């Protein structure tokens, strides 16, 4: 048996003898109430969520778990710690922000004891020291934030306080679970009024910025509208130009096809007339290309030209206009100079030449053309 066991046994025996003697001496005395006599017990109860440390004569710490444990009076010293999450309040702490605004701030610090041995023997009063650390850390961290930053992002302040306090109390076996700022306000009415004026000026500035941005957006919309309209007009003009181009191109193709068809028809007519001049019938089965000579084709072409001129003369004869037409060559009219048949000066010269010649000579010249009507040029004088 160790020394503490022997001392405990002796103490129990002496305590038992003293108790029996006390009872025999005071058996005839009236009994006092139970609350007036201090009872000594050798047992202690550690509740759930707590841990205890028992010292024997101030040394040799022993950890006591929740439940029934032995505690000898005068010999054992017991310290019980709450290992559940606890909180301490920091009310109305005066501080200054980074922009020199005096404020009053209050909050709650939540902590938990992770190592009860260090919390019991590394610090004297863990709850009071945790509160002191929270107070000083709160004042120092508030000095790193501006007033507007705290108003806009209180979670950032809580997170930084949690980190700073947690690092400070980690050596005590205590962890800071979270820090919550409960209230934050200016320290006096004058500061509050100045802040209200500042916030009103800030709101006006933001309003002006929004108005300016709105005007810019409207101007940008008008710009885009004009650009889109001009692009639409350009596209319309381009489509119209493409349509005109296609129309002109197709009309030119149509005229080309018409000219080709007319030329083909003319060639067929020339061929038919040349075949007739050569003495061959168009329905003859013994058609021979070699019997048609170039002179036949030339004579056929001259015949077609004369027919076309007769058609023109018929159209002129049936016309209701009062124009005067002059027909004939330059040689027939005695005009062998360099005159253009379609020039006004030439028309005047022709008119003057006709006045100097007799009508019979002109008719004789015209009758010497072999019985055919030839008109090398026609001049109209109004």
Ranges of each domain in the chain: 40-82, 84-187, 190-276
Cα–Cα distance list, 188 to 101, 192, 193 (Å): 10, 6, 9
* Lowest mean pLDDT across 168-177, 200-209, 341-350: 341-350
The arithmetic mean of pLDDT across residues 31-45, rounded, is 59
What's this model's pTM, rounded to 2 decimal places?
Answer: 0.46
Q: Cβ-count burial of 234 within 10 angstroms (0-12 exposed, 13-18 middle, 19+ buried)? A: exposed
Q: What percent of the chain has pLDDT over 90?
A: 37
Give the whole-angstrom CA distance, residue 232 versus residue 224: 12
Predicted local distance difference test score (pLDDT) of residue 177 = 93
Which of 41-45, 333-337, 375-379 has the largest mean confidence? 41-45
Q: Is 240 exposed, middle or buried (0-12, 13-18, 19+ CB in 10 A)?
A: exposed
pLDDT of residue 370: 38
Maximum mean pLDDT: which of 183-187, 216-220, 315-319, 341-345: 216-220
Strand (E) or helix (H) holding 91 = strand 86-96
Report whether pLDDT(248) > 70: yes
Is the pLDDT at 366 greater than 50, yes or no?
Answer: no
- The pLDDT of residue 341: 46
Q: Determine the 3-state secondary structure of 245 from DSSP.
A: helix
Please give the pLDDT value at position 266.
80
pLDDT at 331 over 60: no
Alpha-carbon distances, residue 252 vs 248, 255, 259, 262 (angstroms): 6, 5, 10, 15
Which pLDDT does position 280 carry in this prediction? 67
Over range 196-209, report the average pLDDT.
89
Model pLDDT, residue 347: 53
**Average pLDDT value over all residues in the chain:** 77
Say yes or no to pLDDT of 219 above 60: yes
Is the per-residue pLDDT at 31 higher than 50?
A: no
150: pLDDT strictly greater than 90 = no
DSSP per position, 136-202 = HHHHHHHTTS-HHHHHH-HHHHHHHHHHHHHHHHGGGTEEEEEEEEEEEEESSHHHHHHHHHHHHHH
**Does the structure show a pLDDT above 60 at 192?**
yes
Query: Per residue in 73-120, pLDDT tens?
Result: 889 999 999 999 999 999 889 999 988 888 999 999 999 999 999 999
Domain 84-187, CATH class in plain words: alpha beta
Note the pLDDT of residue 286. Answer: 54
* Per-residue confidence (pLDDT) for residue 20, from 0 to 100: 38
The DSSP 8-state label assigned to residue 109 in this structure reads E
Pick the more confident residue, 335 or 110. Answer: 110
Categorize the per-residue pLDDT at 322 as very low, low, confident or very high, splitting at 50, 70 and 90: confident
Q: Is the pLDDT of residue 17 over 80?
A: no
Least confident of 49-58, 201-210, 308-317, 327-336: 327-336
Rounded Cα gap, residues 328 and 335, in angstroms: 11
Torsions phi, psi for 288 (to 5 deg)? -130, 130
Strand partners, 35: none
What's the whole-number mean pLDDT along residues 276-280? 74
Question: Please, which pLDDT band fits residue 307 given cuts at 50, 70 and 90?
Answer: confident
Does the structure show a pLDDT above 70 at 163?
A: yes
| Least reliable range by pLDDT among 237-241, 335-339, 359-363 | 359-363
What stretch of H or E contains 107? strand 102-113
**pLDDT at site 320:** 79
Given this model, what pLDDT does residue 4 score? Answer: 43
The predicted structure's pLDDT at residue 313:
82
Residue written as tokens 């017991």? 78
**Better pLDDT: 299 or 155:** 155
Window from 217-221, 271-275, 296-300, 325-329 with minimum mean pLDDT: 325-329
């Amino acid at each position: 048996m160790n020394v503490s066991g022997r001392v405990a046994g002796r103490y129990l025996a002496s305590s038992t003898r003293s108790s029996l003697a006390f009872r025999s001496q005071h058996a005839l005395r009236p009994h006092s109430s139970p609350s007036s006599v201090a009872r000594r017990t050798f047992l202690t109860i550690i509740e759930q969520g707590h841990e205890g440390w028992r010292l024997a004569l101030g040394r040799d710490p022993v950890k006591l778990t929740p439940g029934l444990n032995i505690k000898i009076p005068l010999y054992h010293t017991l310290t019980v710690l709450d290992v559940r999450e606890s909180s301490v309040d920091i009310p109305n702490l005066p501080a200054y922000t980074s922009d020199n605004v005096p404020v009053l701030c209050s909050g709650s610090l939540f902590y938990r004891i992770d190592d009860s041995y260090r919390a019991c023997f590394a610090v004297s009063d863990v709850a009071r020291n945790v509160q002191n650390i929270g107070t000083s850390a709160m004042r120092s961290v508030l000095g790193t934030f501006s007033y507007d930053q705290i108003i806009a992002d209180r979670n950032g302040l809580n997170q930084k306080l949690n980190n700073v306090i947690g690092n400070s109390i980690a050596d005590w076996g205590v962890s800071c679970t979270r820090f919550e700022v409960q209230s934050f306000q200016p320290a006096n009415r004058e500061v509050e009024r100045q802040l209200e004026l500042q916030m009103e000026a800030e709101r006006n500035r933001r309003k002006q910025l929004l108005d300016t941005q709105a005007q810019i957006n409207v101007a940008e919309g008008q710009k885009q509208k004009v650009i889109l309209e001009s692009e639409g007009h350009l596209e319309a003009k381009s489509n119209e130009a493409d349509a005109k181009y296609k129309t002109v191109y197709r009309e030119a193709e149509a005229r080309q096809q018409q000219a080709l068809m007319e030329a083909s028809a003319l060639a067929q007519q020339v061929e038919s007339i040349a075949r007739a001049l050569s003495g061959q019938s168009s329905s003859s089965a013994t058609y021979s290309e070699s019997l048609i000579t170039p002179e036949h084709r030339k004579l056929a072409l001259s015949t077609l030209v004369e027919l076309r001129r007769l058609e023109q003369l018929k159209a002129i004869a049936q016309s209701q206009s009062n124009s005067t037409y002059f027909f004939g060559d330059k040689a027939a009219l005695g005009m062998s100079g360099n005159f253009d048949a379609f020039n006004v000066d030439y028309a005047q010269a022709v008119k003057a030449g006709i006045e100097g010649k007799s009508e019979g000579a002109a008719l004789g010249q015209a009758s010497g053309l072999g019985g055919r009507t030839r008109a090398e040029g026609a001049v109209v004088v109004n």
